[in-house]
Structure 1
Amino acid sequence: MQSSLILKTATFLLAVGLCAFTFIQTLPEAEMVTYTVDPKTQHVQLFWKDDAGQIVKSIQNLKNFVESKNAKLLFATNGGMFDSDYSPHGLFIQNKVKLTKLDTASGQGNFYLKPNGVFYLTDDHVPVVCQTTEFKEHTSIRYATQSGPMLVIDGQIHSAFRQGSKNLNIRNGVGILPDNKIVFAMSKNPINLYDFASYFQKLGCKNALYL
């Protein structure tokens, strides 16, 4: 019997597999597409490499890999920063195996626009978005990806973002809703970081992370 999955991928292919119903909401007035996930009833998975240790690299490859597991790809999107060799930039944990370590250095680009953060899921299906400085590694973490910058921090928009900024790009991110469900959002058109963060804030996310 084929199971249905919604997969969230990073460019290095980070995937979210959902075994049950997922609510899909399109908000044309906000120019966003959002996917809401209940981790208590839906399985969330992050992928970078397949079972043979090969980098998945493309959504088509991910689709083929998922279908080889008798599952179906329903949704895929970017899930974090990556380097030129398609390796994750910063922490990446796949099925309880830490493949790359936490990056606490300073540098240029979105990843290093502090505070940056980590999105992770535990064995008990608890989703968390936290600042990198607050992340504590423990054995119950099943999946994790580090990215940056944080979009919403304790209910407030990142202080470096400016309303009316002309820095426009297609963007995606992840936040935790008040009911502890996960919301993934992607802009349908170029948008600045302030407006993108504001979208998560209006949904009620206390913390949200740019992917």
Structure 2
Amino acid sequence: MSRPRKAEDPIRWPVPCNRCGQHHQTVARWPDGGLCGYCYQQAKRTRGICACGHEGVLPGIIEEQPTCRRCSGVRLNVDCVGCGDEDELYSGGRCWTCVLGDVVDDLLTNQATGSMADDLIPLAAALKSMKRANSGLTWIQQKHVTAFLRNLAVAPHISHETFDELPASRTREYVRGLLTEHGVLPQRDELRMRYDSWAAEAIERVKDPQHLT
């Protein structure tokens, strides 16, 4: 999802963006003209097949159609040093997907043993294959998600009971669902389990013995 645009400022930026026509700061000058930051970001994320047959990032525009770097003459580094694919780069010359993969491996590896539990390998694969790697990285780097995955990495075994002992959260149920989907955990009636847990806690909250009968 692209970031919301701020109101344009014709006084501060009198020359409009060549693509959107709005008055924002020019951050790049390509063969088709100057681009504002919003159009620059969009160009780096535009993928498809160019008229020449090249498949990958299409940052240029010729006759209102997205084109590859070679056809458009756009100079832009989108070559990931990790996987070699064309993609928007995040850090160290690597794309979002490669960085996400490294973060996932680090969090799900037991630092004491230096290895990842076999039961967590399907989970790692699922997290690495998130449709939007940038959103996945943002999610996984939240402190509570990072802490949860690190705790899971050192769990002696992976079971529903293991998850039940961890603090209740949406993250716990999301990860449980992934492991269930990939056959690591057996299917179970989660609504029934939640009801039983709620019922037990409700009884504990009742202080008056007369209300327990």
TM-score of the superposed pair, with normalisation by structure 1? 0.21
Please state which structure has a larger fraction of its residues in strand: 1
Please state which structure has a larger fraction of its residues in helix: 2
Find the structure with the greater CA-based Rg: 2
